[in-house]
Amino acid sequence: MRKFLMVLLVLCSTIGAQAETKFNERPKLVVGIVVDQMRWDYLGRYYDQFQTDGFRRLIDEGYSCDNCLINYLPTVTAIGHTSAYTGTTPAFHGICGNDFFIDDEKAYCCGDSTVRPVGTDNNKRGKMSPRNLLSTTIGDQLRMHTDFRSKVVGVSYKDRAAILPAGRSANGAYWLDTDNGQFITSTYYRDELPDWAKAYNQQLKKNKELQKVGKRVGFYPLCGHITADMAIAAMKGEQLGQGEATDMLCISFSQTDVIGHEWSTRGEHTDEAYLELDKDIAKLLKAFDEQVGKENYIVFLTADHGAAHNFQWMEDHKMAGGAWRVKEDVMGSGLKAYLRDKLGADLSIINGINSYRVYLNHGRIAELGLELSKVKEALIDYARQMPHVQFVMDFEKVNTWSVPDVIRSRALLGYHPHRSGDLLLVLEAGWYEFWTGGSSPVGTTHGEWNPYDAHIPLLFYGWKVEHGSTSREVHITDIAPTICQKLHIQQPNACVGEAIIEVVEGD
């Protein structure tokens, strides 16, 4: 009996030790990579052209979620980056677009008048922070879990793609000021650029290719090359992955979005962008191997949204689609006359149309003595008569509107009552916003619920990730809880996603 009790005691101690080891076991570094405007089908389109140590290394050795969807509206950059790292949607994290209105006041997602630029005198480029973000990120949770011993850094060409993924408690976020060709930050993070960032900026001053393209660097693969090099400089300079606590590096490649908006989803520019990006991915993985160790880091790669094919390309191939010309077809003379005749009002009652959402000027409507409900009804009636508008909804009544569940669900998850506007328009498949004077006639855009905008890649690679794939539907909001589950830390505080069990079971 005594011998049996001793064996049982040893067994229980062993199990306890194993459990303790598991919950304390983490990689040295977590790396998030977002490729701006990358459609899921690009993985297959370019697979045979990718080199073996870039995207194909992630695909062939990692885990691919082949049916990852964005589960909210609209599908745009700031929201996508934020949702991937918070595990939630605009309804909760509050980043409702690149630009949006907060109670009638126009706001840029990262604009912050209370901070100063660091590394530049350009207030327009540098007065940025994550203050508009209402929820925590993976990095914030990691920092709190380790009593802020973990380091979290964000790097991108775009300010919003560096700032929002890194979160509110990040040690740093760095983005490119195209006016001076330097990576900058703001006083939200620090009063002076770190020495490693200064050193890298000195290298950029000597970069002849960058000097040649200047402010248009985003239209060239060079933008990805310098982003990758800046991320490596940040990893080495901040000694990420070298301490006792797990660190995090958030990287976003933006040139793919700039090129897509200009030249769309097909053609030599897009082909070059992804084949050159493949080299950047390979360079990053090699640097992680050398700096942290191949078995000591975990990577996820995804996109913030996809993109529609160019409308003219679709028409040329006898498929439906077209340009929804906002200035002419929506905000033109027809609407002006309608508002005058129907309400005795003018366009001042509309703050703007942004990503298929109509923002009403509530203050102006009250000044004119109009009922908000009547204004909405009138605009809904008008929008229903617009060609190629399939659905139009009052955000506050979406739950009872006669629309398909997929639209209703994504509209609700994308709606914040103080930041998302009043009405939502859904266009027929293949149609998208076109701003005369601002949109490229041979380019494209994004923002809708359709698979071309909402179906994105999701790859996991590295520490305790087994090779495989799934066609099961998962969502962009599932990324954060999956990484947090792997790290044995709490999910972000507004997370609505679910951990992807196939990835977690590799633990």
Of 77, 88, 256, 302, the active-site residue reads 77
230: which 2 tokens? 């800046």
Judged by DSSP in three states, 98 sits in coil
CB of 34 within 8 A of CB of 304? yes
What are the backbone angles phi and psi of residue 296, rounded to the nearest 5°?
Answer: -115, 10
H or E element at residue 249: strand 247-253
Contacts of 395 (CB under 8 A, 6+ apart): 411, 415, 417, 420, 421, 422, 423, 424
Q: In terms of Cα–Cα distance, which of 329, 236, 232 is closest to 280? A: 232
CB of 316 within 8 A of CB of 425? no
Sheet with 68-69, side-by-side order of all strands:
455-456, 68-69, 474-475
Reply yes or no on whether 227 is catalytic: no
Distance, in Å, from the CA atom of 170 to the CA atom of 154, rounded to the nearest integer, reads: 8
Element counts in the chain: helices (H) and strands (E):
21, 21
Contacts 24+ apart (CB under 8 A), 40-43: 40/66, 40/68, 40/303, 40/306, 40/455, 40/456, 40/457, 41/455, 42/274, 42/457, 43/457
Q: Annotated active-site positions, please?
A: 77
